[in-house]
Copies of this chain bind each other. A is one copy, B any other.
Amino acid sequence: MKVYLDNGATTMTDPQVSDTMAKYFTEVYGNASSLHSFGKSAKEALDISRRIIADSFNADSREIIFTSGGTESDNLAIKGVARALKDKGNHIITSKIEHPAVLNSCKSLEKEGFRITYLDVDENAFIDLNQLKESITAETILVTLMHANNEVGTIQPIRRIGQICKDNNIIFHTDAVQSYTKVDIDTKKIPVDLISISSHKIHGPKGVGALYIKKGTPLTKLSDGGSHEFDVRAGTENISGIVGFAKSVDLSTPEHIKLQNRLKDQLIDGIQRSIPDTVLNGPRDNRLCSNINISFRYIEGESLLMHLDMKEIAVSTGSACSSKKLEPSHVLLAMGIRPEHAHGSIRFTISRFTTKEEIDYTIDTLKPIVEKLRAISPLK
Contact = CB atoms under 8 A, between A and B. Distances in A.
Chain A interface residue count: which class? 35 or more
Nearest to A302: B35
Contact of A236 (B71, B237, B302, B308): B71
A222 B26 CA distance: 32
A320 B8 contact: no
Interface string A82-107: 00000000000000000111001101
A18 B26 contact: yes
A31 B317 CA distance: 13
Interface string A16-59: 01100110011001110111111100100000000000000000
A182 to B, nearest CB: 18
Nearest to A317: B35
Nearest to A105: B224
Given A11-B29, A100-B225, A305 B36 contact: yes
B324 A223 contact: no
Nearest to A21: B25
A18 B22 contact: yes
A101 B324 contact: no
A39 to B, nearest CB: 6
A206 interface: yes
A42 B314 CA distance: 13
Contacts of A74: 225
Given A39-B8, A101-B226, A225-B74, A236 B206 contact: yes
Nearest to A102: B225
15 contacts: A6-B30, A6-B31, A8-B29, A11-B31, A13-B25, A18-B25, A18-B26, A30-B314, A36-B308, A68-B68, A71-B235, A205-B240, A207-B240, A227-B324, A228-B321
